[in-house]
Chains A and B, each alone.
Chain A
Amino acid sequence: MYQIKLPFQMMYRDWRAGELNVLLLALIIAVSGMVTVGFFAERVELALARESNQLLGADLLLISSKPIPEQFAEEANQLNLKISWLTKFPSMISNGEGNLLTQIKAVTEGYPLRGRVHLSKRSPGGSVSQPQLQTANGIPPRGTIWIDEKVMTQLELQRGDIVDVGAAQLTVTELIAREPDHSVGFINMGARAMINADDLEATGLIQEGSRASYQMLIAGEIDSVKQFRDWAKKRLANYQRLEGIRDARPEIKAALQRAEKFLSLTALASVVLAAAAIALAVRRFTQRHLDGCAVMRSLGASQNQLLFLYLVYFIGFGLIASGIGCLIGFGAQQALTHWLTDIVETDLPWPSGLPVLQGLLIGLVLLLGFALPPVLNLRSVPALRVLRRDVGLSNFHSIAGYLLGLVALSLLFIWKAQDLKLGLYVVIGFAAAIVIFGCLGWLLIGILASIRHQAGGAWRYGLASIRRRSVSSILQAVALGLGLMALLILTLIQDDLVKDWHASLPPEAPNHFLVNIQADQLQPLQEFFQHHAMEQPAMAPMVRGRLVQINGKKVSTKNYSDDLHAERHIRREFNLSWTSELSLDNQIVQGAWWQGDNIEPELSIEEGIAATIRVKLGDVLTFDIAGSHFTAKITSIRKVDWDTFRVNFFVLVPPGLLENYSASYITSFYVPPSDLAVIHDLVRAFPNILVVDVALVIRQVQQMIQQVSQAIEFVFVFTVLAGFAVLYAAIAATQDERIQEAAIFRALGAKREQLSRAWAAEFAILGGLAGLFASAGATAMGFAIGKHILHLEYTFNPWIWVVGISTGVIGVLIAGLLGTRSALSTPPLLTLRKLG
């Protein structure tokens, strides 16, 4: 017990004497920055997932072509999950005069578990431009049917009319404006109606072998949903599948992942900065504790005793500082959340405790990584130092400390980045930067020092100081350079990222898709757009074909029985299109795009689907298109930017190959919310065309971009704070030496002004070096990360050099002069007497 008490007593005494300020500050900033981002990212992710889940109507769907066995519901109940059932099937609706093939959704109480069904209060024929929406309260009561615009228009129905659905007669009571549905895509987009599941039996439509899709909707606590997902995954039959939002909407997934990557990059940058501050602070700590350890050794402390003392001391200190960091981080993210909620009107869900654990771990890893070797080496301080002050420690352990610290930091990076490639890029980038900065610093300081005789008074002295403290100076310049580099990289990438998002999803991004346009409708449709003074959207042709052979071998779903996702693609039809031009949101990653006249049939495939169905460049695919076979070789693999919401295809072929097959066309365009009447007119004029409204999804992604942009700015504050910590640590690192220097100089008759001018010159040179390093590093790493990790069009910015160098000079100069004020004001006698 007593052994444990001593290290804490020592820590308390050091803290009271201000010995731990820099270390404490650096650790708190690192941990609070990471924890804030951790909490916040988690909450945003949860909120986005939950909001996105409104599109699904649930957190998770279990979809089956046969009735779903009870065991799934039992398991969900055990996990306290909410469930609801839905049966979807096509059927004729008739009003006695006409029939319409309609997608009918029979729902049970509770539907939808996430999101709402919006009902239109408009009466038929009323104004479409400003539909009054109302949230549905519950589901259609027994004996009633809710229909959509299409059914209402086609069958000319009114509220109160009675329709036949199979053997049942149901009363039309509501007009559905919008409903959650996972298949808001290119299929099942015909006329839609919703009935109560209790009426299902009366319709007599669902029998053994009916073409129905059975869905179980699941919602609840994230962990429970995950648990259910894992449990259910193992028990799925081949006609069943699970679907969450990430499976359903690639564009949300892509934007979300990029946002997450950037946020964690921002937090990591503050960790790099804090690590630099910690490394500097530990150096000062060990130097200031050399005497104390020598005294303790002379007083009889054994090496093991000192080892234990400092081990417990630092672990305890790490936990306390990280704990404070966690508290601050939690408070900060609460403030951030509060602030953002005002902007985006989103209620963020409560986070888990995981970021706190991560925060504590990060604090300990950083501190122990950088501090342990040099601090534990304190135990080897020769006791003789009490008699001879020139006896010290070798630099070996300091270097070992930096190495261990860097290894710890690298592992932390790779872990936190949750992306090996990003982690490696940053780690290698920073490691290379340290080596290059170090060598360059050494070289530049050598050159500058050799020409110092030609410089004026203050500059000459400044250069002499830098050279005399060359190891310290190089360390300071490298640490400051790294810090500034991290800040510059973030500024560069943040700017590009936000710009790129806005560019890929401008306010007028397409929000409506038209599917199933027939060739003979192209002309009338063009006239329709002309008539409504709308821009002509580009029409993409589309032929549907099932993949039947790969390299001449028959393709069977059995080949993919281990991968439900792949199996689904094989079972479904692919949409094939042709074009001569590669659109901007497509990028060839392997092979080459076709040019000129093609001799043999070729095709280009999207990289994700190629991986899923396990095909590669050079493979020959055969599609069954309406009974005849079309065979082509894969000559290119494309990466598609799904978050642009433009029409894109998994499979593209050059013009001239598919024109003989019956094709339909597809297009996307933007309709302002005030012009929704156009869509109504369009549905009337072209009843066969499916209109897909993605406005909701677009709004969500746009909102998310806004949210994340704001969050990035907030988190950036931590990075800047960490930058100040580095500055503070760098200045404090030479504080003791400066106090002594000032005392001697002033005793020799130097004026305060002379000394401060010489120091100003030294700080300006140091800041300039750091700025130079930072600008060069930021340019190189910004390019690499932007291009290879975040996939941005990186723009070279020459201003970075101006900003980098001037920030370095001005920042270090101001901080340096402020930090050395006390050194100048300490009476020389006091210092000299202390030196003995």
Chain B
Amino acid sequence: MSIDNQSKQLVLRTDALTKQVTTGEQQLTILHDINLQIMSGDAVAIIGASGSGKSTLLGLLAGLDLPTSGKVHLNSVDIFALDEDDRAALRGKIMGFVFQSFQLLPALTALENVMLPLELARTPDAETPAKRLLERVGLGQRLNHYPKQLSGGEQQRVAIARAFATNPRLLLADEPTGNLDSANGTQIIELMFELNREHGTTLVLVTHDEALSRRCSRQIRLVDGRLIH
């Protein structure tokens, strides 16, 4: 646990976060007593072997899943004290996501995919910022292409543009380069960090990618669901 800069604000804090699941008759603890703090502007990589609980932790930090015990404070708000809808509203307001499998809606064009979070937030003109972001990620010429007409790297760039559309304070990424070759992966990493700087976003990402984790200001390692400092 470290506080690099006293001027930074605390964005995310977990208190004894624990997640257990029951498979058959066995109870499996995926996360043990996780305590961590993430400050604004940080770029944090959660690393660990397969099955160490990285994605589960990310899901809990985003409020996408419920813990067995423990708390997550986002901007001092105990997110599990909120109901699912309030958590969704909080996500819409301050979080952005990038997923390993991109999670673009196949029926929507690149532009429409980026417009979607803005439309959900009832932004009157969703198109202008969405176009600007797609141009920023180098897809200005491919606005009206469907996901299936785009390469993997291009799809992930659309996903990144979408993640930044609502100008989030916290960007969560789950293996963002996991489905990409190394050249595309590098480009995506560059793009994400550039945007992170431009928008002053706090970045939390789960990765296997050593190159990617080295670019982060902090690495948090999980071994069998425990945090190794």
Q: In the complex the two chains form, is A383's CB within 8 Å of B64's CB?
A: yes
Q: In the complex the two chains form, is A387's CB within 8 Å of B64's CB?
A: yes
* Residue A503 lies at the interface, judged by CB distance under 8 Å to chain B: no
Q: In the complex the two chains form, is B99's CB within 8 Å of A386's CB?
A: yes
Minimum CB–CB distance from A745 to chain B (whole Å) comes to 21
Return chain B residues, CB-CB under 8 Å to A386: 64, 97, 99, 103
Return chain B residues, CB-CB under 8 Å to A700: none
Known contacts A299-B120, A300-B95, A836-B100; 9 further A-B pairs (Cβ under 8 A): A2-B122, A295-B116, A299-B91, A299-B97, A299-B166, A300-B88, A302-B89, A387-B99, A833-B152
Which residues from 478 to 495 on chain A have a C-beta closer than 8 Å to any C-beta of chain B? none
Interface string of B133-149 (1 = CB under 8 A from A): 00000000000001010
Return chain B residues, CB-CB under 8 Å to A300: 88-93, 95, 117, 120-121, 166
Minimum CB–CB distance from B51 to chain A (whole Å) comes to 13
A3 and B179 alpha carbons, distance in the complex (Å): 35
A301 and B190 alpha carbons, distance in the complex (Å): 29
The chain B residue with its CB closest to the CB of A5 is B119
> A301 is contacted by which of B64, B107, B120 (Cβ under 8 Å)?
B120
A299 and B161 alpha carbons, distance in the complex (Å): 13
Minimum CB–CB distance from B97 to chain A (whole Å) comes to 6
* Residue A751 lies at the interface, judged by CB distance under 8 Å to chain B: no
Minimum CB–CB distance from B3 to chain A (whole Å) comes to 29
- From B6-14, B55-63, B192-200, B214-222, the one touching the partner chain is B55-63
Return chain B residues, CB-CB under 8 Å to A13: 107-109, 112
* Residue B65 lies at the interface, judged by CB distance under 8 Å to chain A: yes
* Residue B84 lies at the interface, judged by CB distance under 8 Å to chain A: yes
30 pairs, A vs B, C-beta closer than 8 Å = A3-B122, A9-B119, A13-B108, A13-B112, A14-B107, A17-B106, A292-B105, A292-B107, A298-B62, A298-B64, A299-B91, A299-B92, A299-B120, A300-B91, A300-B117, A300-B166, A301-B88, A301-B92, A302-B85, A302-B88, A303-B88, A304-B85, A383-B62, A383-B91, A384-B65, A386-B103, A387-B55, A387-B64, A833-B179, A836-B101
Which residues from 153 to 188 on chain B have a C-beta closer than 8 Å to any C-beta of chain A? 162, 166, 174, 179
Minimum CB–CB distance from A260 to chain B (whole Å) comes to 44
A303 and B89 alpha carbons, distance in the complex (Å): 10
Return chain B residues, CB-CB under 8 Å to A387: 55, 58-59, 64-65, 99, 174
Interface string of A1-28 (1 = CB under 8 A from B): 0110010010001101101000000000
Which residues from 296 to 321 on chain A have a C-beta closer than 8 Å to any C-beta of chain B? 296-305
* Residue A567 lies at the interface, judged by CB distance under 8 Å to chain B: no
The tally of residues in A whose CB lies under 8 Å from a CB in B reads: 34
Q: In the complex the two chains form, is A388's CB within 8 Å of B92's CB?
A: no
Q: In the complex the two chains form, is B88's CB within 8 Å of A295's CB?
A: no
The tally of residues in B whose CB lies under 8 Å from a CB in A reads: 41
Return chain A residues, CB-CB under 8 Å to B107: 13-14, 16-17, 19, 292
* Residue A164 lies at the interface, judged by CB distance under 8 Å to chain B: no
The chain A residue with its CB closest to the CB of B100 is A836
A223 and B63 alpha carbons, distance in the complex (Å): 63
* Residue A382 lies at the interface, judged by CB distance under 8 Å to chain B: yes
Minimum CB–CB distance from B61 to chain A (whole Å) comes to 11
Which residues from 226 to 259 on chain A have a C-beta closer than 8 Å to any C-beta of chain B? none
> A384 is contacted by which of B64, B95, B124, B152 (Cβ under 8 Å)?
B64
The chain B residue with its CB closest to the CB of A304 is B85
The chain A residue with its CB closest to the CB of B159 is A295
A2 and B121 alpha carbons, distance in the complex (Å): 11
The chain B residue with its CB closest to the CB of A299 is B117
Return chain B residues, CB-CB under 8 Å to A291: 103, 105
- Whether A17 contacts B146 in the complex (CB less than 8 A), given A386-B97, A836-B101, comes out as yes
Interface string of A822-836 (1 = CB under 8 A from B): 000000001001101
Return chain A residues, CB-CB under 8 Å to B64: 298, 382-384, 386-387
A776 and B124 alpha carbons, distance in the complex (Å): 59
The chain A residue with its CB closest to the CB of B124 is A2
Minimum CB–CB distance from A675 to chain B (whole Å) comes to 73
The chain B residue with its CB closest to the CB of A19 is B107
Return chain A residues, CB-CB under 8 Å to B120: 6, 296, 299-301, 305
Minimum CB–CB distance from A825 to chain B (whole Å) comes to 15
A413 and B59 alpha carbons, distance in the complex (Å): 48
Which residues from 260 to 318 on chain A have a C-beta closer than 8 Å to any C-beta of chain B? 291-292, 294-305
Interface string of B44-81 (1 = CB under 8 A from A): 00000000000100110011110000000000000000
A291 and B116 alpha carbons, distance in the complex (Å): 14
Minimum CB–CB distance from B80 to chain A (whole Å) comes to 14
Minimum CB–CB distance from B54 to chain A (whole Å) comes to 10
- Whether A296 contacts B122 in the complex (CB less than 8 A), given A291-B103, A384-B64, comes out as no
The chain A residue with its CB closest to the CB of B91 is A300
Return chain B residues, CB-CB under 8 Å to A301: 88, 92, 120
A303 and B62 alpha carbons, distance in the complex (Å): 17
Return chain A residues, CB-CB under 8 Å to B121: 300
Minimum CB–CB distance from B48 to chain A (whole Å) comes to 15
List 5 A-B pairs, minimum CB-CB distance, nearest first: A300-B92, A17-B107, A836-B101, A302-B85, A299-B117
Return chain A residues, CB-CB under 8 Å to B92: 299-301
A382 and B66 alpha carbons, distance in the complex (Å): 11
Q: In the complex the two chains form, is B103's CB within 8 Å of A383's CB?
A: no
Return chain A residues, CB-CB under 8 Å to B90: 300
A583 and B93 alpha carbons, distance in the complex (Å): 84
Q: In the complex the two chains form, is B88's CB within 8 Å of A297's CB?
A: yes
Return chain A residues, CB-CB under 8 Å to B166: 299-300
Interface string of A382-398 (1 = CB under 8 A from B): 11101111000000000
A296 and B119 alpha carbons, distance in the complex (Å): 10
Return chain A residues, CB-CB under 8 Å to B152: 833
Return chain B residues, CB-CB under 8 Å to A304: 85
Minimum CB–CB distance from B101 to chain A (whole Å) comes to 4
Interface string of A364-408 (1 = CB under 8 A from B): 000000000000000000111011110000000000000000000
Return chain A residues, CB-CB under 8 Å to B105: 291-292, 295
Return chain B residues, CB-CB under 8 Å to A302: 85, 88-89
Interface string of A697-739 (1 = CB under 8 A from B): 0000000000000000000000000000000000000000000
Minimum CB–CB distance from A312 to chain B (whole Å) comes to 14
Minimum CB–CB distance from A812 to chain B (whole Å) comes to 28
A19 and B85 alpha carbons, distance in the complex (Å): 27
Return chain B residues, CB-CB under 8 Å to A14: 107
Minimum CB–CB distance from B125 to chain A (whole Å) comes to 11
